[in-house]
Amino acid sequence: MTATIIQTNSAPFKSVTVDPVTLDILENALRNARVEMDATLFRTALSPGIREQGDAFPLIADRDGKMVVGQFGSFIDGFIRLYQGEIEEGDVILLNDPYSCEGAISHTSDQLVIAPIFHKGRLVAWSAMFGHMTDVGGKVPGSLPTDAASIFEEGLRMPPVKLYRKGVLQGDILAIAAHQSRMPEWYKADLHAIVAACRVAGRRVVELCERFGEDVFTSSLTELLARNHRAMGQLMTMSIGEEKVSFEDFICDDGKGAGPFKIKCTMWREGPRVILDFEGTDPQSDSSINFYLNENMFKMFFGIYMIMVFDPQVMFNDGFYDLVDVRIPEGSLLKPKFPAALSCRTHALGRIFDVLGALLGQKTPEFLCAAGFSSSPHLMFSGYDGKGEWFQLFQIGFGGIPGRPFGDGADGHSLWPGFTNVPNEFLERYFPMVIERYESVADSGGAGRFRGGNGIHMTYRFLESGTIAIHDDRWFIPPWGVNGGLPGMRSWKRLEKVSGESIPLASKCDGIKVEKGDLLHFVTWGGGGWGDPLERETDLIGLEITRGLITVEGALRFGVVAHGDGSIDEAATEALRAKMRGERGPLQLFDRGPSIDDLRASCLADTGLAAPVQPVWRVRPSRMAAE
């Protein structure tokens, strides 16, 4: 069954030819409308995750639900196909249940708003946006329980419902949803901000229809999708071969002591179509690290990566989807069976980008990126302040971006390029904490001709007692390097109590009690390096020593002998590099670092934590296996 669109004007749309100048004007107008959606949201939301960091994703789609502009969309067509009801002008749909939309949103914290756009009684487009709410209920503050065994432990779970019906707010729906949240005022403010952003898009689309006419507008959307189809078809034919290539990477653990968990994908082309097959990915987890990966969502990831690597001038949209076939085994980590828990799916989501980069670069290593997108570190801190008022922080941390074919990875940046950090001044103003350290971790990026970005060391001093939760990865298996580049540093977390006790913390943990005066060291991973470290410019290494990005000891990884002031001993460097070239073997396409067995042996000494055990259902132990 599909949604029934109620239109007061049944006149069919005419397909017309749109001249290039008009098409360019409409394309840029839609791009600007998408930016205006973001601006509206960020000015009016309250939670730092949305307001300060930008954890929300808008789109504008054609009347069939295909995204024309946006970043993280491709879910409206599934909604249209699955929704069993009528859609009328003025309706606004709200949902957050991944199992009700085939994983188009992937955990309950993401609230999705979908709004049809009508002009003179006819549906001409759709707008949509989802944002990550600080809290939607559930067993832990932040609604991201590591040890959840089912989605019913993860807070409010809504199928598609009408938040607005014919333009009228359904107050009971809003009251029920906000009532589940520990931060109801933030929830309501953020949700209204998302709705406002969608309405901004609606107004801009109506203005374009008034200016150019509905037929020109709808025909332009069709042409923008078709243009993407043509461009992507050429890119895929040129860059993806018919021979199968595979890659596997691992989520370190599930927060319950099991792991690592393998994600494997095989890619090949059959004529114009590219197949991406996740056969060999591990079965779903008993914890919440499962990622219900919507096939269209993965096509979107694939398309963004292709465009950013091979031709950034191509306008990204859903036009190419029929050229890609995504196959995900039922019951796997990436397509778990209901009611599997999903709240901590971020680690698998990040790891998908590392796997994609490895697949797309194997045929053309000069375009290969190292690992480092990897995860999206979270910190939650909640409790009652000295006035007895509840506070609750959800913050996304940053790691090291991988080394790339055209330069170093960014130091301490987000998985999502549009995200920004929460300013330390904001944290100290609105939460009982002081940020005592916020700095790049020298030498944490993998060595290479282009080094991986360094991770970040944040030290929080808590000014009130409360509870923290941490969600991160890459603490056990490091981000790999490519084309001779070395792996990045692993992440670690440590709590220093006011009593003097020092406690290593797991990368995935909930319910950790902290006292006033405790210090949390939150250290993220570094990105993998790209290319031969012995080819890195010595002057650049000297400069980075003065900037605190590389140490004198760390410079030796590049075969560089340096002094504390950044000066280089050129003769000693030349001799050291010659010695290192003679002693090493052939450069590896992928350098994953030590084997899993060796990592297990060193884990306790390096991090203070025991290595994860193998899940009992494994037929054989997973291997890092670059062999």
395 and 278 both lie in a single domain: yes
Judged against a pLDDT cut of 60, whether residue 618 lies above it is answered with no
The domain in which residue 380 lies consists of: 240-293+328-532+587-607
**pLDDT > 70 in the chain, percent:** 97
Judged against a pLDDT cut of 80, whether residue 409 lies above it is answered with yes
pLDDT of residue 620: 33
Q: Answer whether residue 307 is part of any domain.
A: no
* Distance of alpha carbon 354 from alpha carbon 375, whole angstroms: 10
Token digits of residue 372: 């480092």
- Residue 39: name the closest of 22, 49, 54 by CA: 54
Judged against a pLDDT cut of 90, whether residue 611 lies above it is answered with no
pLDDT digit string (tens) for 535-552?
A: 999 999 999 999 999 999
* Distance of alpha carbon 119 from alpha carbon 126, whole angstroms: 11
pLDDT of residue 622: 38
pLDDT of residue 417: 65
Residues making up the chain, counted from first to last: 627
Which stretches of 67-158 are assigned E, i.e. beta strand?
Answer: 67-70, 86-87, 92-95, 110-119, 122-132
Query: Position 480: which residue type?
Result: W
Q: Answer whether residue 505 is part of any domain.
A: yes
Question: Average pLDDT of the chain?
Answer: 92
42 and 88 both lie in a single domain: yes
396 and 449 both lie in a single domain: yes
197 and 256 both lie in a single domain: no
438 and 336 both lie in a single domain: yes
264 and 219 both lie in a single domain: no
* Distance of alpha carbon 182 from alpha carbon 59, whole angstroms: 29
**Average pLDDT estimate for 473-495:** 95
**Average pLDDT estimate for 161-184:** 97
- Residue 68: name the closest of 318, 299, 297 by CA: 318
pLDDT of residue 269: 95
**Average pLDDT estimate for 578-600:** 91
Chain centre to alpha carbon of residue 535: 32
pLDDT of residue 615: 53
For residue 418, give Cα distances in angstroms to 17, 54, 222.
35, 7, 27
pLDDT of residue 96: 95
118 and 217 both lie in a single domain: yes
Written as one string, the DSSP assignment of 328-372 is --TTBTTBPPTT---TTTHHHHHHHHHHHHHHHHSSSGGG---S-
* Distance of alpha carbon 419 from alpha carbon 398, whole angstroms: 10
Name the packing angle between helices 346-361 and 295-310 (round to 10°).
50
Token digits of residue 423: 């300013």
379 and 447 both lie in a single domain: yes
- Say if residues 490 and 423 touch (Cβ distance below 8 Å): no
Placement of tokens 């954890």 in the chain: 55
Q: Answer whether residue 304 is part of any domain.
A: no
Q: Answer whether residue 96 is part of any domain.
A: yes
Judged against a pLDDT cut of 50, whether residue 625 lies above it is answered with no
User: Per the confidence metrics, is the pTM higher than 0.85?
Assistant: yes
**Average pLDDT estimate for 219-243:** 93
Q: Answer whether residue 407 is part of any domain.
A: yes
Q: Answer whether residue 373 is part of any domain.
A: yes
Q: Answer whether residue 567 is part of any domain.
A: no
pLDDT digit string (tens) for 75-104?
A: 788 888 888 899 999 999 999 999 998 888
pLDDT of residue 627: 30
pLDDT of residue 624: 34
* Distance of alpha carbon 291 from alpha carbon 504, whole angstroms: 27
- Say if residues 259 and 612 touch (Cβ distance below 8 Å): yes
Residues 6+ apart with CB under 8 A from 191: 94, 111, 113, 133, 163, 174, 177
* Distance of alpha carbon 545 from alpha carbon 563, whole angstroms: 9
* Distance of alpha carbon 155 from alpha carbon 96, whole angstroms: 10
* Distance of alpha carbon 241 from alpha carbon 277, whole angstroms: 15
**pLDDT > 90 in the chain, percent:** 79
* Distance of alpha carbon 580 from alpha carbon 419, whole angstroms: 39
18 and 120 both lie in a single domain: yes
Neighbouring CB atoms inside 10 A of 89's CB total 17
226 and 261 both lie in a single domain: no
pLDDT of residue 44: 94
* Distance of alpha carbon 73 from alpha carbon 95, whole angstroms: 14
- For the ranges 168-177, 432-441, 594-603, the lowest mean pLDDT is seen at 594-603
Q: What is the number of domains present in the chain?
A: 2
Judged against a pLDDT cut of 70, whether residue 229 lies above it is answered with yes
- For the ranges 108-112, 393-397, 417-421, the lowest mean pLDDT is seen at 417-421
283 and 185 both lie in a single domain: no
pLDDT digit string (tens) for 486-500?
A: 999 999 999 999 999
Buried b (16+ CB within 10 A) or exposed e, 336-368: beeebbbbbbbbbbbbbbbbbbbbbbbeeeebb
Token digits of residue 489: 């540093």
- Say if residues 484 and 531 touch (Cβ distance below 8 Å): yes
pLDDT of residue 118: 98
pLDDT of residue 619: 37
* Distance of alpha carbon 530 from alpha carbon 451, whole angstroms: 6
352 and 207 both lie in a single domain: no
Q: Answer whether residue 10 is part of any domain.
A: yes
Name the packing angle between helices 184-212 and 214-239 (round to 10°).
110
- For the ranges 176-185, 288-297, 554-563, 607-616, the lowest mean pLDDT is seen at 607-616
- Say if residues 122 and 213 touch (Cβ distance below 8 Å): no
Placement of tokens 């031969």 in the chain: 532
pLDDT of residue 228: 92
* Distance of alpha carbon 201 from alpha carbon 282, whole angstroms: 41
SS (H, E, C) 12-48: CCCCCCCCHHHHHHHHHHHHHHHHHHHHHHHHHCCCH
SS3 of residue 125 by DSSP: strand
